[in-house]
A and B are shown apart, each in its own frame.
Chain A
């Protein structure tokens, strides 16, 4: 860890301004990921702007009938919110499938979206990693890749996004709201929020330097049976081998997103459309063009079988 300076921002715009033009500065909220990365010098910010006290910790109804989740709402509070449990059960279930009680007490909504990959080569500073050190190569491509992406990756990077929450939000068509240093705001559909690695795996989201997430908005409830199924080697406290977030309607239509397979929550329009045709058609649409490694090819079959179980649960 390098020595750094610290300030506590008073307003969201102040926070954004404090980072703008200061590429070595970072926001800090729950710190559940950033502090670990700083200890390992994977991140070495020279300045931290604490955004914990900006009042962005409320969950409010929107005029359209949806919910606006403040960026600083803790994962525990979001999972326990009665409106979330009633109308967006897939989100509550996804949150509770992630991390541990202690971590969820600290981790925030925006921080969860921005958490970085758990690829072991990213975490080992003696190994090449294009995400950590652009141009150094990718150790995982020819190395150990059991946890890593089967689709959406590139010859530069096959890291996955580790979030459970984001997968549910992708199925719910959430929108990420931000503010920039000049005070301007924008609304980014979650589908567009995370970037695929291409040749620049160190660029992970569309956020500009200094742009601060203020909220995540959920559209009005879509009903249906909402399922989050996370598959892992142990019963708790493990990242997903794959996960499925699904909203299934009585007429057989619905939406589905996958976690653990790609650098971002993975949803494909054609797969939603294929839901009435069953798991094989959905899996095939979701994973068309997949390029698995020998270590993680099992994820294709696992995704199809898990989708089948989820669809069966939806019918039950």
Chain B
């Protein structure tokens, strides 16, 4: 089904099942510990062997010698695979560094060997017995130094509208400020894990992955196999946050280990290795300049971002939202990429907009203060309903102003003291902060197969993943609504490369596209059913397990075991209309007047993101994202050792994410919205919207509490302590 004109009324609009707060249909499995995660599967045939990864102890250089004898002689050891005996390996399209390194080392904790043994403990002990001598080389690990060294390099690729320099120079009110965000790690609960088994020349991997088709393709490329010889199964994923979008070392090493031993092999990445071995969100340095008239209208806005990556890697796209969020005739955005020898940077939790909004929305707060305006009103004044770079291109839906007004009213924003550092409650300094939320909506083709079991039940099959988001549930709701059956008559099977290729889970594109793919398959199936039962397909009503038209009603079961497969694909609607999602984020914090400790008191998000397919799972997505926003604002930071070239705090004791005690009352409001330009579902992504802007709302609230502006995330107490008032 090609979606190239605005959606009209369709069976989804009945909202009998879609739009209802259905419980997660996998919830019982999750809460009883019976959902089979990759490492825990007991249904793999064969005599399972266990593997343990060996990693590089330097950031850059070469292996001088690797002594394997002790490990080979250790009890239970079956094989040791290194680059020297693994055979020629290809490179996945999504990978920058090699997943099995050696003799060259490209980053700290790059995998250089895998040990296979009868038991996990034997594999680990043998891995620890491998001795390596290193030939380290000098590397670049310091983003700030790299930025200085770059000078003006990279400006030739900037995006310009109007004449920023002239517009900024002539603006009576100006802001020119620089913000930093740190490297971050995904910290998902389930580590990267794989079981691999070969059957002749065919490979099956059971793993934890967000993007089945991408990863299957990259695994085939890496191992030099035809894609058809690889099956990838990932039905349950214990969190990904972008860290499992790609093929990673666990899957490649398990496959190599299984090939070397002729047995199924399981491997999980140990927690202390994940931060440096896998991908992370790169740090940024962001310079923002805003020039406005005294009336508060933005005349010129510039956003430049520096980030680092391994050679061949990409920049963190932290400036994209600045192209679209606010009006202004003169605009400049630019991404600058420094070559660093830290581990590989890539997508994490709303890549681009999450760190970009952390900077932009502090800048907007600072600018509002310079103008003497309320931060909510300043944003509303600079709203735009069209793409500022191309006014012929409207937004498909844009309710940012409504989000901000509704949020301000609900939150009691009028009680905010505009002058910072004024509200004291006992030993606490109290402040309010807000930010806009913004994240683009992406249309991506997505396929599904929908079958009737001949007994009134419906089966949905697609390689879509459920990374804790609720995919199983909303896909079941979609099929139930379309086929007119109860939710419990739908079985959803996900995460298997034998099923039709879906959009996968990432970039908040999963929900809208994968349900639209199921919608497309259901439309086809309804036609087949109508034909089988002698109905006119366009007029037949599918409802209550029956197909009806006029006085005639036939049970769906009588159509027999029919099957239909289709995919949603998109025309040029995303070119003609800008598709984005919007939010207003509001936060109250208290700062200990003596110690500077920040504690969040309450949070509110008002979201406009098209049709909400399931308000319960959507709310869970948003409150989870708001929690990530608190982490980003107040504590999450991979500390870089800039001489040794690695992330130092690489376990969950050193890398802090919020605990329950950090998260207060969270409220989420979804505006009533449908977007007929997004898909037949009229939905958009929402999960990452809940994160984008939250960090700045927290930082702005801290400023409002203390009067001390911190522009370097995370906002830890050491950054404002010296400027807090004296302790009484």
As a 0/1 sequence over residues 636 to 663 of chain B, the CB contacts with chain A under 8 angstroms (1 = contact) are 0001110110001111011010111110
A120 touches B654 (CB 8 A): yes
Does B595 sit at the interface, judged by CB under 8 A? Answer: yes
Does B149 sit at the interface, judged by CB under 8 A? Answer: no
Does A306 sit at the interface, judged by CB under 8 A? Answer: yes
Residues of B close to A146: CB separation below 8 A: 639, 718
Residues of B close to A237: CB separation below 8 A: 659, 661
- Partner-contacting stretch, out of B121-129, B480-488, B524-532: B121-129
B727 touches A121 (CB 8 A): no
Given A142-B643, A305-B595, A120–B648 Cβ distance below 8 Å? yes
Considering only CB atoms, which chain A residue lies closest to B714 in the complex?
A233
A residues 1-47 near B (Cβ < 8 Å) are 1-3, 39-41
A residues 115-146 near B (Cβ < 8 Å) are 118, 120-121, 123-124, 126-127, 139, 142-144, 146
* Interchain CA distance A238-B717 in the complex, whole Å: 15
- Closest chain A CB from B631 CB (angstroms): 9
- Closest chain B CB from A4 CB (angstroms): 11
B654 touches A302 (CB 8 A): no
Residues of B close to A185: CB separation below 8 A: none
Residues of A close to B650: CB separation below 8 A: 120, 124
A143 touches B644 (CB 8 A): yes
* Interchain CA distance A241-B635 in the complex, whole Å: 13
B648 touches A144 (CB 8 A): yes
Residues of A close to B5: CB separation below 8 A: none
* Interchain CA distance A312-B640 in the complex, whole Å: 38
B721 touches A234 (CB 8 A): no
Does A232 sit at the interface, judged by CB under 8 A? Answer: yes
Residues of A close to B727: CB separation below 8 A: 279, 305, 308-309, 312
A residues 263-304 near B (Cβ < 8 Å) are 279, 298, 301-302
Q: Which of B108, B121, B595, B721 contacts A309 (CB 8 A)?
A: B595
* Interchain CA distance A124-B57 in the complex, whole Å: 9
Residues of A close to B594: CB separation below 8 A: 305-306, 308-309
Does B728 sit at the interface, judged by CB under 8 A? Answer: yes
Residues of B close to A239: CB separation below 8 A: 653
Does B139 sit at the interface, judged by CB under 8 A? Answer: no
- Closest chain B CB from A124 CB (angstroms): 7
* Interchain CA distance A145-B643 in the complex, whole Å: 13
B57 touches A232 (CB 8 A): no
Size category of the B interface is 35 or more
* Interchain CA distance A217-B713 in the complex, whole Å: 45
As a 0/1 sequence over residues 94 to 127 of chain B, the CB contacts with chain A under 8 angstroms (1 = contact) are 0000000000000010000000000001001100
Residues of B close to A151: CB separation below 8 A: none
**Number of residue pairs A-B, CB distance < 8 angstroms:** 103
Q: Which of A118, A231, A238 contacts B656 (CB 8 A)?
A: A238
A residues 64-88 near B (Cβ < 8 Å) are none
Q: Which of A143, A238, A306 contacts B648 (CB 8 A)?
A: A143
Given A1-B125, A118-B653, A301–B597 Cβ distance below 8 Å? no
As a 0/1 sequence over residues 206 to 229 of chain B, the CB contacts with chain A under 8 angstroms (1 = contact) are 000000000000000000000000
Does B634 sit at the interface, judged by CB under 8 A? Answer: yes
B595 touches A306 (CB 8 A): yes
A121 touches B648 (CB 8 A): yes
Does B21 sit at the interface, judged by CB under 8 A? Answer: no
A144 touches B643 (CB 8 A): no
Does B272 sit at the interface, judged by CB under 8 A? Answer: yes
B residues 537-592 near A (Cβ < 8 Å) are 592
* Interchain CA distance A221-B58 in the complex, whole Å: 53
Size category of the A interface is 35 or more
A298 touches B721 (CB 8 A): yes
A residues 232-246 near B (Cβ < 8 Å) are 232-239, 241
Residues of B close to A238: CB separation below 8 A: 656
B635 touches A40 (CB 8 A): no
Considering only CB atoms, which chain A residue lies closest to B727 in the complex?
A308
Residues of B close to A301: CB separation below 8 A: 721-722
- Closest chain B CB from A261 CB (angstroms): 14
Given A302-B595, A309-B594, A139–B644 Cβ distance below 8 Å? yes
B649 touches A120 (CB 8 A): yes
Residues of B close to A302: CB separation below 8 A: 595-596, 717-718, 721
Does B204 sit at the interface, judged by CB under 8 A? Answer: no
B635 touches A233 (CB 8 A): yes
B659 touches A235 (CB 8 A): yes
- Closest chain B CB from A257 CB (angstroms): 17
Does B159 sit at the interface, judged by CB under 8 A? Answer: no
B121 touches A232 (CB 8 A): no
A1 touches B427 (CB 8 A): no
Considering only CB atoms, which chain A residue lies closest to B641 in the complex?
A143
Residues of A close to B653: CB separation below 8 A: 118, 239
* Interchain CA distance A57-B555 in the complex, whole Å: 70
Given A1-B125, A144-B639, A233-B634, A40–B272 Cβ distance below 8 Å? yes
Considering only CB atoms, which chain A residue lies closest to B660 in the complex?
A236
Residues of B close to A126: CB separation below 8 A: 55, 57-58, 108
B residues 360-406 near A (Cβ < 8 Å) are none
Tell me which of B272, B595, B640 has the highest count of chain A C-beta atoms within 10 A of its own C-beta: B595
- Closest chain B CB from A174 CB (angstroms): 26
Does B716 sit at the interface, judged by CB under 8 A? Answer: yes
Given A139-B641, A305-B595, A235–B661 Cβ distance below 8 Å? yes
Residues of A close to B634: CB separation below 8 A: 233-234
* Interchain CA distance A126-B722 in the complex, whole Å: 36
Q: Which of B75, B124, B592, B658 contacts A1 (CB 8 A)?
A: B124
B residues 412-437 near A (Cβ < 8 Å) are 427
B272 touches A234 (CB 8 A): no
* Interchain CA distance A139-B75 in the complex, whole Å: 34
A1 touches B654 (CB 8 A): no
Residues of B close to A236: CB separation below 8 A: 659-662
Given A118-B653, A233-B634, A234-B662, A312–B728 Cβ distance below 8 Å? yes
Residues of B close to A312: CB separation below 8 A: 727-728
A residues 95-123 near B (Cβ < 8 Å) are 118, 120-121, 123
A127 touches B272 (CB 8 A): no
B residues 638-692 near A (Cβ < 8 Å) are 639-641, 643-644, 648-651, 653-654, 656, 658-662
Residues of B close to A142: CB separation below 8 A: 643
A127 touches B644 (CB 8 A): yes
Does B599 sit at the interface, judged by CB under 8 A? Answer: yes
Q: Which of B55, B648, B651, B658 contacts A234 (CB 8 A)?
A: B658
* Interchain CA distance A232-B596 in the complex, whole Å: 10
* Interchain CA distance A235-B590 in the complex, whole Å: 12
A231 touches B595 (CB 8 A): yes
Considering only CB atoms, which chain B residue lies closest to A118 in the complex?
B653
Residues of A close to B718: CB separation below 8 A: 146, 298, 302
Given A120-B654, A142-B643, A301-B721, A232–B128 Cβ distance below 8 Å? no
B125 touches A144 (CB 8 A): no
Residues of B close to A298: CB separation below 8 A: 717-718, 721-722
* Interchain CA distance A239-B649 in the complex, whole Å: 13
Residues of A close to B125: CB separation below 8 A: 1-3
Instruction: Report 30 cross-chain contacts, Cβ distance below 8 Å, ordered by A residue.
Output: A1-B124, A2-B128, A40-B272, A120-B648, A121-B648, A123-B272, A123-B651, A126-B57, A127-B644, A139-B644, A142-B643, A143-B641, A144-B640, A144-B641, A233-B716, A234-B634, A235-B661, A236-B659, A236-B660, A236-B661, A236-B662, A238-B656, A239-B653, A241-B717, A298-B721, A302-B595, A305-B594, A305-B595, A308-B728, A312-B727
Nearest 6 CB-CB pairings of A with B: A126-B57, A309-B594, A298-B718, A235-B661, A308-B727, A236-B661
> Which B residues lie at the A interface, using CB under 8 A?
55, 57-58, 75, 108, 121, 124-125, 128, 272, 427, 592, 594-597, 599, 634-635, 639-641, 643-644, 648-651, 653-654, 656, 658-662, 714, 716-718, 721-722, 724, 727-728
A234-B634, A305-B594 are known; give 18 further A-B pairs, CB within 8 A.
A118-B654, A120-B648, A123-B651, A144-B648, A146-B718, A233-B714, A233-B717, A234-B656, A234-B662, A235-B659, A235-B661, A239-B653, A298-B717, A298-B721, A302-B721, A305-B595, A308-B728, A312-B728
